[in-house]
Amino acid sequence: MKLIIQVWRQESRDAKGKFEKYNLEGLDENMSVPEMLDFLNEKLIKRGEDPIAFESDCREGICGQCGFVINGHVQSPEKQATTCQTHLRSFKDGEEVFLEPFRATAFPIKKDLCIDRTALDRIIAKGGYIGVNTGQAPEANSILIGHDTAESAFDAAACIGCGACVAVCKNASAALFTGAKISHLSMLPQGKLEAKTRVQKMVAQMDAEGFGSCTFTGACEKVCPQGISLANIVTMNREFWKS
Amino acid sequence: MLNSKIPEGPIQHKWTQYKASAKLINPANRKKYKVIVVGTGLAGSSCAASLSELGFQVEVYTFHESPRRAHSVAAQGGINAAKDYKNDGDSVWRMFYDTVKGGDFRSREANVYRMAECSLALIDQAVAQGVPFAREYSGYLSNRSFGGVQVSRTFYARGQTGQQLLQGAYQALIRQTAVGNINLHTRHEMMDLVVVNNKAKGIVTRNLDTGEIKIMEADAVVLATGGYGKIYYLSTLAMNCNASAIWRAHKRGAFFAAPSWTQFHPTSLPQMGDYQSKLTLMSESLRNDGRIWVPKKKADDRPPHEIPEEERDYYLERKYPSYGNLAPRDISSRAAKEQIDGGHGVGPMKNAVYLDFDSAIAQEGKPTIEKRYGNLFDMYKKITGMDAYKQPMLISPAAHFSMGGLWVDYELMSNLEGLFVLGEANFADHGANRLGANSLLQACVDGYFIAPHTIMNFLASEKPHETIDQIEKEKLITDTQERLETLLKIKGNKTAEEFHKELGIILYTKCGLIREEAVLLEAKSQIQELQKSFYTDLLVPAGNQINFELEKAARVEDYLELALLIVEDALQREESCGAHFRKEFQTEEGEAKRNDEEFKFVSVWESLEKNVFKLHKEDLDFENIKVSERSYK
């Protein structure tokens, strides 16, 4: 299989970047996108060129580490998939494929396809938890949680923190990411007590990091590899106004 | 020389007794002590959070961009606990017994008992943190069954249990960065351990973004850096999983136990081509409802649905009728390899067996199966492009979990004082084979419940903040700089990845599921050759700042050294036990044949110099469980 790869190359955070073109032959349609970059990098290294810097760890869609924009699709042209779950069979033989990093003010580019998403950790640090210390927990079955509530909480908690929702949003809003955590915790009985302060602090941090406002276009929900629902943003707003 | 420090008294009381007599530090004095935690998976995050909650200063290091990326995130199936919510006869004792037996009687009784004991509180802790475990319609927690046991003691959050538990631990950790005493250093790799007078006193770190090398001093160091199954290159592990932190500690004097005991997971996806970088795991929970089979006829090219029932060999059900498809991992993997090697393999590379859900779908209906495993079936489809509701999954054994790791005593402390090793990075609890859903458990109990007590007990006898000599510090930094410069200067023609792939092939074929003296000796000389060529042929692109190739090269350098120890260990152990199967030592039925007279010990290795290893032994005493032949028939 052949592909023409156009990759975003940027030396450092403040350097000017540009697309660089690579013609690749001898690809296998079952290769994943990161595996294709491994293949390309091996060639670049041997030619004495700087390999493409990109991050990818679990390669099974759960760690949230990888994630590029592929032909304008955030994460993947496939539905509910991460970049590492995208295989070359998604492209036509000979197709031109553009790879670029997620773009958002709050996600500065470090090099090529590597970005800094630590802003998301700082949002969680403001209240994305239940404040229980080790040793304080009561017997597990003393907190009853209905099957459906547990399932909904899981749906929200399934977020992998990849930032695709931010990257696709025209305002680079982190509302889906933040909303998912708020919603996960606030619907559980053990998470209700801190609901007020949680939502206030997390929303404030979201703004402080430079994420934009949510205008409810629903683009985030469409690209989320875990299919996190837009309803979580509604929950966040409701919790916010309640507080 | 090796003192495992197991407390006196009956096994049921050892841990209670330990905690009751462990030394404490006054809350006001705890902040004077600094502890380094390397790794932010379940073990590292939970330990760091718990220490910070107690009031200690904690410096946390991870090579990831965020602590939440650690590979605990990928564990799918579940976490065991002896809650006996099913009223099916479970108890701490039974879990202890199952685990010791599952490990083929090569683990330390007292540690295993403690793990089972602490499992009860761990589920409570996780639920309190908001981990959304599966629930019954009544609101009570739900359980399922896993390999190697006959009760249902596995708690789960769909097929993402590791992710959900890690969220809990990560949130506890990140909370402490705001309200407690944690300093978090992301994108930092531990390059070396600082040892002063046989005590761990700090680490050498490299900032992976800027290349800056620094020393962090502390009163104790915790390594929670996970397993090294990635040494086989193709494995279920993440791309960046590595042995470097524990290997560097080993080179500074920490003993390494049972290095060759690597578990091969029976339900991974098979390799499909040479380009492949990893093998994705399909949760063991699938074996609750899936039936494993191969065609009875060799090289049968018919599609699965055209092979009639009587021409299928459900070999696990046939060989192990009482456990069937839920036979433990080592046994299931070996049985699959036998079928594949015997010409019954299926799939494009004939390297797989079928995992079939037809009967389950017929009995329980598609919606039920979809509910239980929907996300796994989706994942299977994403990776292979195939629909497992319509045709059986292709599965194959893959390198997965390291039962081996740094040697630790009952306090999870290495022979180097002040060096604690947690989770998969240590060797203690799983013997020669780990049972499914015990890995998440071990990582959690080590971090939340055990290490905080044992670390405080250790620190209570230490003076806080003994600083390291300045000249010594500068030398350590120079050593690391020179090591990296050496790698950069080789300028050969082979990438680190290529070396890693070659090493992986040697280990898979010669020191994998089945081992044999003559073949192991071949492996040894091939690895020695490969190691030699590494220093003449390696090619690393220049650059000290973000340079993933340099990170890889340093890790592969360590892997090459560890690989030699793995082979040495496999050679030395002239018996079969658990995942370590020596062809020369098998029963008439082809099962692992232990030699308790000569090998009822843990092999504990010291490196005298590079590639020169000295064996120490920790004898295993079984006072509570009768050592017997392990049978699942």
Interface of B with A in 266-295 (CB under 8 A): 272-273, 275-278, 280-281
Q: Are strands B256-257 and B601-609 parallel, antiparallel or unpaired?
A: antiparallel
Among B41, B171, B143, B40, CA closest to B87: B143
CA A159 to chain centre: 8
Distance from CA of B628 to the nearest CA of A (A): 36
pLDDT at site B373: 86
pLDDT at site B534: 98
Distance from CA of A79 to the nearest CA of B (A): 10
Beta-bridge partners for A115: A109
Beta-bridge partners for B618: B602
Q: What is the mean pLDDT of residues B21-41?
A: 98
pLDDT at site B147: 80
CB contact under 8 A, B240 and A150: no
A135 chain-B contacts, CB cut-off 8 A? 121, 125
Q: What is the mean pLDDT of residues B524-531?
A: 98
Q: What is the mean pLDDT of residues B238-244?
A: 98
Residue for token digits 């232990």? B594
pLDDT at site B633: 82
A191 chain-B contacts, CB cut-off 8 A? 130
Interface of B with A in 64-123 (CB under 8 A): 64-69, 71, 73-74, 83, 85, 121, 123
pLDDT at site B580: 97
**From A112, which residue of chain B is nearest by alpha-carbon distance?**
B546
DSSP, collapsed to helix, strand or coil, labels residue A109 as strand
B139 chain-A contacts, CB cut-off 8 A? 144-147
CB contact under 8 A, A35 and B157: no
Q: Out of A61, A78, A110, whose CB is closest to B209?
A: A110
B278 chain-A contacts, CB cut-off 8 A? 59-60
pLDDT at site B284: 82
Residue A161 sits at the chain B interface (C-beta within 8 Å): yes
Beta-bridge partners for B313: B294
Statement: residue B383 has pLDDT above 90: no
pLDDT tens-digit profile, chain A (243 residues): 999 999 999 999 999 999 999 999 999 999 999 999 999 999 999 999 999 999 999 999 999 999 999 999 999 999 999 999 999 999 999 999 999 999 999 999 999 999 999 999 999 999 999 999 999 999 999 999 999 999 999 999 999 999 999 999 999 999 999 999 999 999 999 999 999 999 999 999 999 999 999 999 999 999 999 999 999 999 999 999 999
What is the end-to-end Cα distance of chain B in Å, rounded? Answer: 40
pLDDT at site A205: 98
pLDDT at site B148: 81
Residue A96 sits at the chain B interface (C-beta within 8 Å): no
Contact between B124 and A138 under an 8 Å Cβ cutoff? The reply is yes
CB contact under 8 A, B171 and A130: yes
How many Å apart are CA B361 and CA A144, to the nearest integer?
A: 30
Does residue B313 lie in a domain region?
yes
A48 chain-B contacts, CB cut-off 8 A? 541
Tell me the backbone φ, ψ of residue B614, rounded to 5 degrees.
-120, 135
Among B562, B451, B563, CA closest to B506: B563
Q: Residue B376 — pLDDT band, cuts 50, 70, 90?
A: confident
**Dihedral of CA A220/A223/A225/A226: which sign?**
positive
Q: What is the mean pLDDT of residues B138-156?
A: 92
pLDDT at site A48: 96
CB contact under 8 A, B124 and A87: no
CB contact under 8 A, A129 and B272: no
CA B395 to each of CA B195, B355, B388, B398, B578: distance values in angstroms, whole numbers, following the listed order: 45, 7, 11, 9, 21
Statement: residue B527 has pLDDT above 90: yes
Residue B127 sits at the chain A interface (C-beta within 8 Å): yes
CB contact under 8 A, A118 and B178: no
CB contact under 8 A, A85 and B383: yes
Structure tokens at B402: 């390291």
B75-79, B196-200, B271-275, B374-378, range with greatest mean pLDDT? B196-200
Statement: residue B6 has pLDDT above 90: yes
CB contact under 8 A, A51 and B177: no
**From A138, which residue of chain B is nearest by alpha-carbon distance?**
B124
Q: State yes or no: is B187 an active-site residue.
A: no
Tell me the backbone φ, ψ of residue B220, rounded to 5 degrees.
-155, 155
Interface of A with B in 189-218 (CB under 8 A): 190-191
Structural domain containing residue B389: 266-397
The share of chain B scoring above pLDDT 70, in percent, equals 100
Instruction: Count CB-CB contacts under 10 A for residue B186.
Output: 20
CB contact under 8 A, A190 and B160: no
- In three-state form (DSSP H/G/I as H, E/B as E, the rest C), the secondary structure along B138-183 is CCCECCECCCCCCCCCEECCCCCHHHHHHHHHHHHHHHHHHHCCEE
pLDDT at site B428: 83
CATH 1.10.1060.10 segments of chain A? 118-130+145-242
Catalytic residue from among B312, B329, B334, B555:
B329
Q: Residue B283 — pLDDT band, cuts 50, 70, 90?
A: confident
A49 chain-B contacts, CB cut-off 8 A? 541
pLDDT at site B604: 98
Statement: residue B249 has pLDDT above 90: yes
The share of chain B scoring above pLDDT 90, in percent, equals 91
Distance from CA of B44 to the nearest CA of A (A): 14
A111-120, B268-277, B463-472, range with greatest mean pLDDT? A111-120
Interface confidence, given as ipTM, is 0.98
Structure tokens at B117: 């004991």
Residue B158 sits at the chain A interface (C-beta within 8 Å): yes
pLDDT at site B319: 94
CB contact under 8 A, A110 and B121: no
How many Å apart are CA A55 and CA A113, to the nearest integer?
A: 8
Residue A106 sits at the chain B interface (C-beta within 8 Å): no
CATH code, domain with B351? 3.90.700.10
What CATH fold (topology level) applies to the domain A118-130+145-242?
A: Fumarate Reductase Iron-sulfur Protein; Chain B, domain 2 (1.10.1060)
Total domains present in chain B = 1
Q: Are strands A18-24 and A109-111 parallel, antiparallel or unpaired?
A: unpaired
**Dihedral of CA B243/B244/B246/B247: which sign?**
positive
**From A36, which residue of chain B is nearest by alpha-carbon distance?**
B275
What is the end-to-end Cα distance of chain A in Å, rounded? Answer: 56
Residue B541 sits at the chain A interface (C-beta within 8 Å): yes
Interval B335-366: pLDDT, tens: 999 999 999 999 999 999 999 999 999 999 99
B280 chain-A contacts, CB cut-off 8 A? 59-60
A64 chain-B contacts, CB cut-off 8 A? 66, 68-69, 73
Residue B143 sits at the chain A interface (C-beta within 8 Å): no
Distance from CA of B73 to the nearest CA of A (A): 6
pLDDT at site B629: 86
pLDDT at site A106: 97
> What are the counts of helices (DSSP H) followed by strands (DSSP E) for chain B?
18, 19
CATH 3.10.20.30 segments of chain A? 3-111
Residue for token digits 């290490």? B451
Give all strands (DSSP E) within B208-340, no chain letters.
213-217, 220-223, 256-257, 262-268, 291-295, 312-313
pLDDT at site B631: 82
Statement: residue B1 has pLDDT above 80: no
Residue B370 sits at the chain A interface (C-beta within 8 Å): no
CB contact under 8 A, B277 and A45: no
Residue A7 one-letter amino acid: V
Statement: residue B96 has pLDDT above 90: yes
Does residue B316 lie in a domain region?
yes
- In three-state form (DSSP H/G/I as H, E/B as E, the rest C), the secondary structure along B577-597 is ECCECECCCECCCCCECCCHH
Q: Residue B382 — pLDDT band, cuts 50, 70, 90?
A: confident
pLDDT at site B285: 84
Statement: residue B224 has pLDDT above 80: yes
- CATH node for A3-111: 3.10.20.30
pLDDT at site B518: 98
Residue A129 sits at the chain B interface (C-beta within 8 Å): yes
Does residue B309 lie in a domain region?
yes
Contact between A158 and A142 under an 8 Å Cβ cutoff? The reply is no
